């Protein structure tokens, strides 16, 4: 039944995509292919999927001042920048519109949020120069872009991480764009106390243990365990200190990681966000050491 429904779906998709295909020259097809190469929405698509997405794109000429998307409207199209510059404005509660972002590179894409989540347009996008866009309509977008997509999976992982909970979906999207995945073996030392650190990590799979050297005895003391959706490595980035603890994988682990620059760029002031979460983490460490002390006493 599973197989059958996949077949039916792909037949449907083929029909939908053919129906929505827009004529374009080979040169245009190649150019769009170049543009979308580095866009995360297309990252994990096969060549065939990309080709059908491109075939549905329609050229739109814009002039400076054109409002491409209006906040609050229903979403109808998704856009890819071919040329020109575009400001993203978000209206706050007081009705003041703030420019939050400018798209100026070919291959930048916008207008996907309302199509993916069925919500009104989250921002207004205005052309600030003349230029050209490629647009895909909602039906074609859903049929070629909404396949099980690793970019989307990544966002759902990031959404579960405590420090990232205050972030909006567009911010998570931008963050997911600069995250890399790392696999480590059991017993691998991921960060080492005393070293300088440039990366923050999120646990996607597996478990790690945090240890600190006891100043008097020199023995490694277990501080806490880290598991799925926990993060670590943030302190060295926040306070420009050396790594304050060692983190070792106790199973095979899958980690998501990004460097300080990318993280700060996307989520703004790293310190503010993490400081909020620090309190709950500290109380967790305290609970754990109390437990350890009790356990030792029992043994004695």
Q: Is 17 helix (H, G, I), strand (E, B) or coil?
A: helix
Return the range that interacts with ligand 1OR (CB under 6 A); candidates 40-48, 108-116, 218-226, 245-253.
108-116
Residues 6+ apart with CB under 8 A from 56: 17, 20, 21, 22, 136, 137, 140, 144
Out of 44, 50, 147, 174, the residue judged to bind ligand 1OR by CB under 6 A: 174
Sheet holding 208-213, edge to edge: 189-191, 246-249, 208-213, 220-226
Burial-class residue 254 by CB neighbours within 10 Å (0-12, 13-18, 19+): middle
Q: Does 184 bind ligand 1OR (CB under 6 A)?
A: no
Q: Does 106 bind ligand 1OR (CB under 6 A)?
A: no
Please work out the total of residues on this chain that contact ligand 1OR, with binding judged by CB under 6 A: 19
- Closest to 250 in 3D by CA, of 271, 275, 230, 273: 230
Out of 53, 75, 126, 204, the residue judged to bind ligand 1OR by CB under 6 A: 75
Q: Is 40 helix (H, G, I), strand (E, B) or coil?
A: helix
Phi, psi torsion values for 187, nearest 5 degrees: 75, -5
Per DSSP, 118 falls in state -
Q: Does 171 bind ligand 1OR (CB under 6 A)?
A: yes
- Closest to 167 in 3D by CA, of 179, 159, 177: 159
Out of 101, 209, 250, 288, the residue judged to bind ligand 1OR by CB under 6 A: 101
Q: Does 32 bind ligand 1OR (CB under 6 A)?
A: no
Residues 6+ apart with CB under 8 A from 182: 201, 254, 255, 256, 257
Q: Are the beta carbons of 113 and 88 closer than 8 angstroms?
A: no
Q: How far is the CB of 173 from ligand 1OR (least distance, A)?
A: 8
- Closest to 112 in 3D by CA, of 12, 58, 42: 42
Q: Does 110 bind ligand 1OR (CB under 6 A)?
A: yes
Q: Does 203 bind ligand 1OR (CB under 6 A)?
A: no
Q: Does 152 bind ligand 1OR (CB under 6 A)?
A: no
Q: Does 131 bind ligand 1OR (CB under 6 A)?
A: no
Q: Which is nearer to ligand 1OR, 177 or 188 (CB)?
A: 177
Q: Does 53 bind ligand 1OR (CB under 6 A)?
A: no
Q: Which is nearer to ligand 1OR, 56 or 248 (CB)?
A: 56
Out of 16, 51, 60, 90, the residue judged to bind ligand 1OR by CB under 6 A: 90
Return the range that interacts with ligand 1OR (CB under 6 A); candidates 110-118, 142-150, 204-212, 239-247.
110-118
Q: Which residues of this protein are in contact with ligand 1OR, per CB under 6 A?
A: 69, 75, 88, 90, 100-101, 110-114, 121-123, 125, 168, 170-171, 174
């Amino acid at each position: 039944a599973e197989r059958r429904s996949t077949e039916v779906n792909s037949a449907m998709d083929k029909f939908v995509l053919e129906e929505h295909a827009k004529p374009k020259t080979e040169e245009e097809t190649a150019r769009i292919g170049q543009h979308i190469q580095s866009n995360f929405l297309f990252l994990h698509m096969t060549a065939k999927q990309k080709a059908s997405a491109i075939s549905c794109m329609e050229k739109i000429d814009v002039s400076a001042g054109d409002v491409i998307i209006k906040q609050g409207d229903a979403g109808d199209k998704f856009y890819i920048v071919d040329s020109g510059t575009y400001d993203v404005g978000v209206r706050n509660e007081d009705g003041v519109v703030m420019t939050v972002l400018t798209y100026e590179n070919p291959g930048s894409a916008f207008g996907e949020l309302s199509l993916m989540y069925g919500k009104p347009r989250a921002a207004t996008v205005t052309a600030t120069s003349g230029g050209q866009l490629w647009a895909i309509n909602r039906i074609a977008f859903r049929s070629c872009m909404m396949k099980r997509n690793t970019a989307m999976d990544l966002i759902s992982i990031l959404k579960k991480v405590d420090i990232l909970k205050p972030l909006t979906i567009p911010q998570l999207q931008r963050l997911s764009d600069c995250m890399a995945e790392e696999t480590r073996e059991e017993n691998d030392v991921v960060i080492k106390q005393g070293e300088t650190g440039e990366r923050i990590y999120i646990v996607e799979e597996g478990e790690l243990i945090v240890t600190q050297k006891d100043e008097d005895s020199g023995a490694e003391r277990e501080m806490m365990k880290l598991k799925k959706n926990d993060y670590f490595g943030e302190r060295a980035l926040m306070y420009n200190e050396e790594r304050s603890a060692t983190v070792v994988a106790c199973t095979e682990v899958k980690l998501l990681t990004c460097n300080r620059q990318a993280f700060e760029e996307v989520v703004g002031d790293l310190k503010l966000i993490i400081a909020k979460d620090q309190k709950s983490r500290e109380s967790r460490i305290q609970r754990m050491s109390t437990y350890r002390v009790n356990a030792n006493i029992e043994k004695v």
